[in-house]
Structures are given as structure tokens and as C-alpha cells.
A and B are shown apart, each in its own frame.
Chain A
Amino acid sequence: GAVVSQHPSWVICKSGTSVKIECRSLDFQATTMFWYRQFPKQSLMLMATSNEGSKATYEQGVEKDKFLINHASLTLSTLTVTSAHPEDSSFYICSASSRNTDTQYFGPGTRLTVL
């Protein structure tokens, strides 16, 4: 099956710093990548959808200047949480799909803790 990796798997940072999370599709070319956030005991919340080479489409209520998404290649998308604050602490999960797949394959997630 399709494999998606994320790095780092967890990160702890100080308030006000920026954190970059990488999402890679290892064995297929991902034309579209999705970024989700999940707070404890809640469901997945889609943050944004990014197509390779295009600007990301953000969901309502998600600040595009705070959550910078870059999808520069068919195997890599990055999410940068800028000026992170404690309320940004969450489980960030990416997923990827391609024209040859009609489902999303999820990465293992990145747990962000902002002190």
C-alpha cells in the first residue's frame, strides 16, 4: 500500500517560535496533500488542501498566514506553524492522494506541544 511519512513525530517548542512539519509520500506521487489537526478526543479537522505547484486552499477559520503550506514537489509538502502558541498544541496529521488513488493515505502524525 501507499506509504506516507511525517517528520518529526513529535516536537516541543517555546511560544513564539516557528515549527516546520514535513510530509512525504514514499512510494507514489501525491498530486494532493491534506493537512489535518486533531485535538484530544476530537475528530479530524481538515485545515487545508494543497495541490502540487499550487497555493493551498484553506478551510474556513484556518489562518493561512499562521499555517504556511508548501507543496513544492509530488512527494513533499510542508506545514509551518508560525509564531506558535500553546493553543496550537495538537496532533497534526497529513494525508496524500494521487490521480491513481481515490482515497487518502495518512502519515503517522506529528504531536506538537507549545510551552
Chain B
Amino acid sequence: QKEVEQNSGPLSVPEGAIASLNCTYSDRGSQSFFWYRQYSGKSPELIMFIYSNGDKEDGRFTAQLNKASQYVSLLIRDSQPSDSATYLCAAGDYQTGANNLFFGTGTRLTVIP
């Protein structure tokens, strides 16, 4: 059973702080990892993906991957109230030409003005 685990939160941070979201996965064969943001009542939107060990930065977001520890994280710098949402971590398993994603249950982030 392939599992992706996240702390459900809620995680509260003050505006301007760094929000740190964590995720672990069970399948060592997972090759790609994704962070999606989901606002209440909306569908998920892709924020970042990462394949290689180390850090990947995109604006205020940094994804970190440690395959040895089976650990993925997302850092949000200078958090804004508009970042308040549920963040879904997903691990990708490439099969038959498609990328099947295994989702965690999500971490709810609240940025306090």
C-alpha cells in the first residue's frame, strides 16, 4: 500500500513568517513529488514539483526532497493571508504512460494577518 502522510494541522503562522509543511511517503519507488494548493471549495492547483534530492526554489516557495529519508517539504517564505489553504503533497508513480499520484490528506495552513 503506497501511502503519503501529512500532518493535518491546522498550522497557523503570522503574516511574513516562514510556513513549513512536511510530508513522508512509503514507496521508495516514487519518482516525483508534487505540492498542490487547494482553497476551500475549489480544486487543487499545482504549486511545485520536484524529482531530485535537494532544494528547488520558485519565488516564495521552496520544495525540499530527501529520498533517503522519504521526506518532502514545502517552505513558504513571507507568508501572506492569501496563502491560507490546504496543501496537498503527492507522490508520483509512473505507469503505462501516465503519472498516478498518491495524495496525502493535506495540511491546512492559516496565515494570520
Taking CB atoms and an 8 Å cut-off, the chain A residues in 67-115 that contact chain B are 91, 93, 97, 99, 101-109, 111
Number of residues on chain A facing chain B (CB within 8 A): 24
Is the contact region of chain A dominated by helix, strand, or loop, or is it mixed?
Answer: loop
User: How does the 8 Å CB contact mask read for B85-106 relative to A, with 1 for contact and 0 for none?
Assistant: 0001000101011111101111
The answer to whether A97 touches B99 (Cβ under 8 A) is yes
B46 CB contacts on chain A under 8 angstroms? 1, 103, 105-106
CB distance from B100 to the nearest CB of A (A): 7
* B57 is an interface residue with CB less than 8 A from chain A: no
The answer to whether B92 touches A103 (Cβ under 8 A) is yes
The answer to whether B34 touches A103 (Cβ under 8 A) is yes
The answer to whether B105 touches A43 (Cβ under 8 A) is yes
The answer to whether B98 touches A49 (Cβ under 8 A) is yes
Known A-B contacts A32-B98, A43-B106, A44-B88; the reply to A107 vs B43 at CB < 8 A is: yes
Chain A CB count within 10 A is highest, among B42, B44, B96, for: B44
Give Cα A91–Cα B43 distance, bound, in whole angstroms: 9
Chain A contacts to B: CB under 8 angstroms: 1, 31-32, 34, 42-44, 46, 49, 51, 91, 93, 97, 99, 101-109, 111
